[in-house]
Amino acid sequence: MSTRTGSRHSRDDVVRTAVRLFAERGFHGTSMRDLGDALGLLGSSLYAHIGSKSELLVEITREGAELFQSLADKVLASELGPEQRLAELVAGHVGIITDHLDLATTLFNETRHLPEPERSEVVALRDRYQDAFRQVLADGVAVGVFRPGLDSRLSATLVLSLLNALDRWYRPDGGATPAEVAEELTRFVLAGVAA
């Protein structure tokens, strides 16, 4: 429904529309003609803006992975204690997903369809991110605010399981605001690891 007359699209328009379609139908479920249709041009015309279909996926997943990585860097550089750090990670994570729902969905579901070496790079970023959670949990155990004997690796996996599933059920027009969701998730997570 965008104005057609005289409207040329930017490369960014193409990327943003690709994020939406990849999230809705999957990478292999979206053809370049689908993407062109959504923008009001031919599939072949997309190649004036991009080099290839997989380039789009690379760009999208990398951008998503970097959002999470920036959050971890910020929290780890802070002066907060383990409990506050965990709460900041949870709230920040929820914020990224609620603000960039299609980006997160595409990152979580389509990373496996990335070509190498980009797939391995995104997986490595994800592992680094998960390790930030593991570190914060281990620190909390060490200073006694989290349960003694807690398996920090497994617990990081469980916390991220909870957080990453958000893209599967959170909808902006749903009952809860992002802040309410973050609060509820924080409560659940802290209960799960509390001393």
Partner DNA sequence: CCTACCGATCGGTAGG
- Cβ atoms 152, 137 nearer than 8 A: yes
Take residue 150 and report the two structure tokens written for it.
């807690």
Helix (H, G, I), strand (E, B) or coil at 194: strand
Burial environment of residue 14 by CB neighbours within 10 A (0 to 12, 13 to 18, 19 or more)? buried
**What gap in Å lies between CA 104 and CA 26, rounded to an integer?**
13
Helix (H, G, I), strand (E, B) or coil at 146: strand
In angstroms, give the least distance from the CB of 30 to DNA.
6
61 binds DNA (CB under 7 A): no
145 binds its own copies (CB under 8 A): no
Q: Looking at this protein, which amino acid is placed at residue 59?
A: E
177 binds, options DNA, its own copies, none, Cβ within 5 to 8 A by partner type: none
35 binds its own copies (CB under 8 A): no
Closer to DNA by Cβ: residue 47 or 188: 47
186 binds DNA (CB under 7 A): no
20 binds DNA (CB under 7 A): no
160 binds DNA (CB under 7 A): no
In angstroms, give the least distance from the CB of 101 to DNA.
23
